[in-house]
A and B are shown apart, each in its own frame.
Chain A
Amino acid sequence: AQSVAQPEDQVNVAEGNPLTVKCTYSVSGNPYLFWYVQYPNRGLQFLLKYITGDNLVKGSYGFEAEFNKSQTSFHLKKPSALVSDSALYFCAVRLYGSSNTGKLIFGQGTTLQVKP
């Protein structure tokens, strides 16, 4: 079965330090990978996605993610964290050719806490 795992419920980092939010996936075909951010009581905001090509994807608000096919990972990174980055982050996967289902498979989410 296809799945997405975010192994850390919470990540704590000091402001100005680099941050990483981990995501691994298990799918039977070629994946399309997405990262979303959610602030309290709000909807999800799209950050970035990997479709094909360069394994390093740059997105909104200075975030980037690295696709690693051999490790089946798509970790979200930012060189210098801001307090305002504190939020809930979701990784999601969609299968190439899965257009008939329209389904995104989500990880359980990782809370990022950036301390001043």
Chain B
Amino acid sequence: DGGITQSPKYLFRKEGQNVTLSCEQNLNHDAMYWYRQDPGQGLRLIYYSQIVNDFQKGDIAEGYSVSREKKESFPLTVTSAQKNPTAFYLCASSITARQSQETQYFGPGTRLLVL
């Protein structure tokens, strides 16, 4: 997991509440990613960012929002519009998104549960 931190480890959301998941990396990577993991479904891409102040939607962006104001930080907000937010959320980074062979490295994850 080294170099990428995610907090909190567990997060509880009430109905109608927005919550923000933190992701920080000290690897000096340009690209950062958010994935959602559900049992038996592998990982699905929510959002990604190739560079500061830029981000793109992934396959399942509805109900989520992100920002990339600093190179080392890529927070994910799960909004009240996301009707099924219970999942394990993984943040990743890579040196760049421009080279397809670049390895993505993952953080330890945040488990989001709905009360």
Contacts and interface: CB of A to CB of B under 8 A. Distances in A.
| B is a partner of A | yes
Contacts of A25: none
Interface string B74-115: 000000000000001010101001111101111111010000
Nearest to A90: B42
A27 to B, nearest CB: 11
**Chain B contact patch, size range:** 20 to 34
Interface in A40-83: 41-46, 49, 51
**Chain A contact patch, size range:** 20 to 34
Given A42-B108, A106-B43, A109-B42, A99 B103 contact: no
19 contacts: A4-B42, A9-B40, A32-B100, A36-B106, A41-B88, A42-B109, A43-B107, A44-B90, A45-B1, A46-B104, A46-B106, A94-B101, A95-B100, A96-B100, A97-B100, A101-B48, A103-B59, A108-B41, A109-B40
Q: Binding site of A, secondary structure by majority: helix, strand, loop or mixed? A: loop
A41 B101 CA distance: 27
B42 A51 contact: no
Interface of A: 4, 9, 32, 34, 36, 41-46, 49, 51, 90, 92, 94-104, 106-109
